[in-house]
Amino acid sequence: MTASAVSIKLPVMINHAILKELEAVVGVDNLLTSKANLVCYAYDATGQSFMPDAVVLPANTGEVSQIVRLANKYRLPLIPRGAGSGFAGGSVPVRSGIVIHLSRLNKIIEIDAENLIAVVEPCVVTGVFQEEVEKLGLFYPPDPASLKFSTIGGNAATGAGGPRAVKYGVTRDYILGLEVVTPTGEVINTGGKTVKRATGYDLTRLMIGSEGTLGTITKLIVRLIPLPEGKKTMTAFFKTAEDAARSVSGIITSRIVPTTLEFLDKNTLACVKENLGMDLPEETSAMLLIEIDGDPLILDRQAGKIRDACLKNGAIEFNVAANKEESDSLWKARRGASPSMLKFWPGKISEDIVVPRNKIPEMVTRLDTIADKHNLTIASFGHAGDGNLHVNIRVDKKNAEDMKRADEAIKDIFKATVELEGAISGEHGIGMSKAPYLKMQLSDSEIGMMKAIKKALDPNNIMNPGKIFD
C-alpha cells in the first residue's frame, strides 16, 4: 500500500502531511506505510522487533539529504538500514520513526585498478563486490560470515570484521573515504582517494562503527590489494578446546600469520555435523580451520610449520584440502555454524566478544565455568586468530527462568572479557542489545565524550536513537 492510500492508523508523531512531504521526495512507490510492508523493516538478526511509522527508499544522495532535513525539522527518529543482518539490534526502529532503506543505492561506481581503489554505494553486497574485483585480479579482504547478503555500508557502520581479519584487518582498514549525510542534512566528504591524508581530524574513522548515529553513509571509497596467487586450507582436530586455543598462539609464534584461523567448539561442531553431515574424528571436541595465501612456492613450507604447531599442542588429526572443492566444503561448514545452531537452538542468544589472542585458552575455560555455574549450554566459535569469539547461549526465550539465568551468564561473560583485557564487541557493534553493558567497558569520561560528539553532530537526536549509549 502506498502513502496515497493509507488505511492504517498513524501515530501522532508522523501525520499524513509529513507523509506527503516524504512522498514528494521519493515518489509514491518508494514510501511504505502498510503494516505488511513495515513489519519487514521491524527486526534484525537478533529477532527483536519494533515497528517503524514509515519506510522510505531514496534513489540518491540528494534524496537522502532531503529526507534527513525533513526528519530533523519534525524531530522524527531516522534509522538508516541496509540488509538488516546485524546481531546487536543496531538497525531496528526502537523508537519508531522513519526507516531509510538504502537498497536502491547499490551501484559499484568505479574500480580503479591502477590506484587500487573502488568507489561504491552503501548497499553493494560485500560478496558480490569481492567477485567483481577478483575478475580484475584484485582483492577486497573484509569477509564477514554474512558476506553473501550483508552490505559494505552496513559493514562500515558496524565496524564489521570477518575470518580474514587476522592477516588483513577489518572493514575500517579498507575505507579511505566516505560521503555522509549529516543529521542536519548536509552532505560531507571525509577522506579521499589517497592512502595518506593528514588534514585534521579523521572523520572517516569517526563515522565507521558509529552505527548510523552520526550520519547516513551514501558512498564509500575502499582500498583494494592485489589478489593472492595461491592459498591452502587446513583443518586440525583436538580432544579439548583448550588444546585448540593454545595452538592458535603456537601457529603465530611460528612466524606465520594465516589468512584465517577459525575455532569451533564441540557444541558448535555437533550442530554442524547434524545439519551438514560433516565427518569428524572420534574424540573431537574442537576444530581449527586454517587458511594461508600468497606465493604458491612457500605455502607448502608454511603448511608444514602449522601442522607441527598443531601436533605439538595435541592435535589428533591434521588435514590439508586437496583441491578447491574440499576447501569450499570446509568453508561451507564454518559459514554454516550459526545457521546450523539456529536450526537446533532456535532461541539461542548470540554474543560477540574479543580478547587478546593469548588469552583465548583462559576465555574458553571461563566459558565452560560460566555454563556450569548457570546450568546452561554454551557454544563458541569464531575468529580465533584475532581473539574474536561468537558465544551462543541455548535458551527457551519463553521460559522466564531460562532468560534470567542467561542474563546473568551474559554479565559474567562480559566481566570475564574485560578482566582479560578484551572488548564486549569485536565486530557486531553495540546497538541496543549491548548498550546496558557499555559501562562495563568504558569510563564515564569516555562515554561522556562520545555523547558530546553525538550532541554536537545531532542536536535533535534523530539519528538512530536508543543505540549504543542512549
- Strand pairing report for 216-223 and 117-120: antiparallel
pLDDT tens per residue, range 290-337: 999 999 999 999 999 999 999 999 999 999 999 999 999 999 888 889
1 has pLDDT over 80? no
pTM over 0.85: yes
- Residue 267 near residue 378, CB atoms below 8 Å: yes
- E strands, 228-370, are 230-238, 260-265, 286-294, 315-320, 349-354
* Beta bridge pairs of residue 293: 231
The CA distance from 227 to 225, in Å, is 6
Question: CATH 3.40.462.10 residue ranges in the chain?
Answer: 230-419
The closest alpha carbon to 382, from 353, 408, 356, 411, belongs to 353
- Strand pairing report for 54-56 and 187-191: unpaired
Task: Please count the other Cβ atoms lying within 10 Å of the Cβ belonging to residue 81.
Answer: 27
Give residue 3's pLDDT: 36
- E strands, 113-174, are 117-120, 138-139
The CA distance from 437 to 469, in Å, is 9
Pinpoint the alpha helices (H) of 234-312. Answer: 241-252, 266-276, 296-312
- Residue 259 near residue 231, CB atoms below 8 Å: yes
Give residue 293's pLDDT: 97
State which fold the 230-419 domain adopts. Vanillyl-alcohol Oxidase; Chain A, domain 3 (3.40.462)
pLDDT tens per residue, range 144-193: 988 999 999 999 999 999 999 999 999 999 999 999 999 999 999 999 99
Kindly state the average pLDDT of the residues 423-441: 94
The closest alpha carbon to 386, from 405, 359, 367, 364, belongs to 359
Kindly state the average pLDDT of the residues 374-379: 97
The CA distance from 20 to 74, in Å, is 13
Give residue 64's pLDDT: 98
Average confidence score pLDDT of the chain? 94
The closest alpha carbon to 332, from 384, 273, 375, 388, belongs to 273
238 has pLDDT over 80? yes
Question: CATH 3.30.465.10 residue ranges in the chain?
Answer: 108-226
pLDDT tens per residue, range 31-86: 999 999 999 999 998 888 999 999 999 999 999 999 999 999 999 999 999 999 99
State which fold the 3-101 domain adopts. 3.30.43
CA angle 13, 19, 22 (to 5 degrees): 120
449 has pLDDT over 70? yes
Question: CATH 3.30.43.10 residue ranges in the chain?
Answer: 3-101
- Residue 322 near residue 290, CB atoms below 8 Å: no
pLDDT tens per residue, range 99-136: 999 999 999 999 999 999 999 999 999 999 999 999 99
Kindly state the average pLDDT of the residues 245-267: 94
Percent of the chain with pLDDT over 90: 90
The CA distance from 142 to 191, in Å, is 19
Cell numbers for 52: 517503524
* Beta bridge pairs of residue 273: none
State which fold the 108-226 domain adopts. 3.30.465
Give residue 145's pLDDT: 85
